[in-house]
Amino acid sequence: MTTDNKFAPQKQVLGNLLGVGLGLGLPVLFAGQVGAEAIERPNIIMILSDDHGSADFGFRGGGVDTPNMDRLFFEGRSLNRFYVQPQCTPSRAALMTGRYPARFGMHYGVVLPHSQWGLPADEITLAEALRDEGYETAMIGKWHLGHATESMLPENRGFNYYFGNYLGSLDYFKHGFPGGRGHDLHRNREPVYLDGYITTLYGEDAARVIREHDHEQKPLFLYLALTAPHDPWQAPEETINKYRARGAEGERAIYLAMVEEMDNAIGMVMNAVHEAGIDDNTLIIYASDNGGPFVPDITSNGFLRGEKGTTYEGGIHVPAVARWKGQIPAGTSTDELVYIGDLYPTFLRLAGGVPNQGKPLDSYDVTRTLLNGNPSPRQHVIQVTGPETFWNGVVTERWKLMIAVHNGRIIPDEGHFAAPAIHKLFDLQDDRYEQQDVSADYPEVYEYLLKLWRSVYDVRVESEFSFSQAEGDDPEIWGQFE
């Protein structure tokens, strides 16, 4: 990135006010050059967990055994300010497009069993783009970007291989939508019926794909989207008993067992990479799709306020790490802002291509931040997650604009949108727990961030989400068409 690039890092909001103005709030194109030219194109393994509380790691004192994830963090660069959308579908939409999901109506709510909407056909997915660059593309796990038509399914959105569940949650043992609502485990468009705990099955299959891939022929992009540790609370009994014996009670013991099983699956991936001899040529990224949910005494977001569904840090600021032996120094970290959508142009850059969306991205190539810890080209994350009176806001290195209907938790009642929105400004440097509204002290910052937020909010495509899409006549098997 050149120093005269208008997207060059400027770490003060007021600096932006003076020097850059609102241009940064507009959609931006692929930003700048990256010094990765001499690097061989790596395999890229993206591991996404589901609703993993940010404190629920062994190395963070979470009371759970996660030796593999601990090692991943110790061997890579911890991304200490990695941001996502606060819910499953929107985060996945951002990852697959490099664009804010509000651009195409996937920012609010999630795809429900009877939703007719999905990722729009004119969005070029990350998998499609990497496949065009010569990558083998495989996905294992939870799609959650639409299943109402065959064209919405991952097999038709860039993945040469797919093994997983199309909907947003899965019975871990029966492999259907929870509640006995239709089978939802598929391999390349065919329903498959297997015995076993789904997290283990996903881990084993990911390891198999890595082992069987011909690494001499082409690089591999593997997207492993675990359903763990999203509810329903289910885990092998012996693992649950281990945590009960340690004093964990009720569903907390089950959740911790689910996290450990997830860690086992990630260990299978790490071992397969090692055994294939591709440690030095494989970038592994791990992140959660959103923060731990509002389930008291089950998940923990540690020192972060709030939970899944909210734009408090506990909803959108998640654990993440990048490991690439020989390229990323082990045991390092960065406090630079990274948004999940940034992985789109970053992966494309590492693949030797450029994003060719035909549309502006909302994301930045953060290769240098991942590899070298350089300043991130990203200066803010704009959160549009629903109607104005829902959870919205803007995050910068220092500041947080919060727009919410109330100061508490989500109430699944659309009637509450009639209430006026609360606008608050937090200084995250001094107030990490987002308690003190300082908007009166920094009115210019507040106004600037509000304009940034409006630059996306005002051009959003309305979501087709409705709670009523949860119910309907369930098929015997999801994702079956004429």
- Positions that interact with Ca ion (CB under 5 A): 50-51, 88, 289-290
d(CA 221, CA 433): 37
d(CA 436, CA 439): 9
Of residues 107, 144, 175, 183, which has the active-site annotation? 144
201 and 194 Cβ atoms separated by less than 8 Å: yes
Would you say 225 or 449 has its CB closer to Ca ion?
A: 225
In the complex, least distance from residue 167 CB atom to Ca ion, rounded to whole angstroms: 13
In the complex, least distance from residue 142 CB atom to Ca ion, rounded to whole angstroms: 9
Task: Quickly list H helices, 20-78.
Answer: 67-75
Would you say 459 or 470 has its CB closer to Ca ion?
A: 470
Of residues 88, 175, 213, 423, which has the active-site annotation? 88
410 and 391 Cβ atoms separated by less than 8 Å: yes
d(CA 238, CA 236): 6
Q: Which of 157, 213, 154 is nearest to 189 (CA)?
A: 154
Would you say 95 or 273 has its CB closer to Ca ion?
A: 95
In the complex, least distance from residue 250 CB atom to Ca ion, rounded to whole angstroms: 21
d(CA 106, CA 100): 9
Would you say 290 or 469 has its CB closer to Ca ion?
A: 290
In the complex, least distance from residue 140 CB atom to Ca ion, rounded to whole angstroms: 17
Q: Which of 167, 166, 157 is nearest to 121 (CA)?
A: 157
* Three-state DSSP state, 318: strand
In the complex, least distance from residue 290 CB atom to Ca ion, rounded to whole angstroms: 5
Would you say 258 or 445 has its CB closer to Ca ion?
A: 258
What are the Cα distances from residue 178, in Å, to 15, 107, 286, 345, 354? 50, 24, 26, 35, 40
Q: DSSP characters for 339-367?
A: EGGGHHHHHHHHTT-----SS-BS----H
In the complex, least distance from residue 232 CB atom to Ca ion, rounded to whole angstroms: 14
In the complex, least distance from residue 482 CB atom to Ca ion, rounded to whole angstroms: 32
In the complex, least distance from residue 92 CB atom to Ca ion, rounded to whole angstroms: 9
Would you say 51 or 75 has its CB closer to Ca ion?
A: 51
Would you say 48 or 350 has its CB closer to Ca ion?
A: 48
What are the Cα distances from residue 277, in Å, to 43, 69, 280, 375? 12, 20, 8, 32
Q: Which of 342, 336, 259, 282 is nearest to 67 (CA)?
A: 259
* Three-state DSSP state, 73: helix
Give one word for 189, left, alpha or beta, with left for phi > 0 and alpha for psi -120 to 50: left
Strand partners, 318: 82
Q: Sign (positive/negative) of CA torsion 401, 404, 406, 409?
A: negative
**Token pair listed for 405:** 């209907």
In the complex, least distance from residue 118 CB atom to Ca ion, rounded to whole angstroms: 17
Name the residue number minimizing CB distance to Ca ion.
88
Would you say 281 or 299 has its CB closer to Ca ion?
A: 299
d(CA 109, CA 85): 11
Strand partners, 136: 220
175 is catalytic: no
Would you say 9 or 315 has its CB closer to Ca ion?
A: 315
Spatial neighbors of 273 by CB under 8 A, at least 6 apart, are 43, 45, 210, 279, 282, 284
144 is catalytic: yes
Give the residue numbers annotated as catalytic, written as ranges. 88, 144
